[in-house]
Amino acid sequence: MLTRKADYTETTRLKSLETHSDAGELTFAALAEDKAARHMEPFFITLEPGEAREHVLSSHEGEEFLYALEGPLEIEYGNDTYVLQPGDSIYYDSIVPHQVRSHAGESARFVAVVYTPV
C-alpha cells in the first residue's frame, strides 16, 4: 500500500493520549489508514506543548517505535526519562507505563509506529 503525502490529512485525534495529562496536544496523520487487517499503525505526529495537568502514564499491549524529525521529544518509560533529538529513535514495549510529551515547552514532529497484537 502506497500513501502519498497528499493522500492523508492531519487530525487532532487525541489530546495527551486521552489521559488528560501534561503531554501536550498530539496531531496525528495516519499513514496506512486504508490498509485492512494491519497489525502496525504508522503515524506522522506533531506535538504541541500543553497546559500542565495531571501526570498520567499509559500502558497497553504491544510495541512502539518513535523516530524524532524536528524538535526535542521527551519519553518517560518506566522509571527512566529520555529526550530524543532529531534523528534519534526509541523502540519499547508499551506494556511498560510510558508517556510521550513535549520537552522544555517546545513543539516536536515525529514518526510513530504502534504494533498491537491481535
For 25-79, what is each residue's pLDDT tens digit? 888 888 887 778 888 989 999 998 876 666 788 899 999 999 999 999 999 999 9
**Domain-wise residue ranges, the chain:** 19-115
First to last CA, the chain: 20
pLDDT above 70 coverage of the chain, percent: 82
Distance CA 117, CA 115 (A): 7
Looking at every residue in the chain, the average pLDDT score rounds to 84
Q: Which fold has domain 19-115?
A: Jelly Rolls (2.60.120)
Whether the model pTM is above 0.75:
yes
pLDDT at residue 13 greater than cutoff 90 = no
pLDDT of residue 32: 80
Please compute the mean of the pLDDT values over residues 76-88 and round it to a whole number: 96
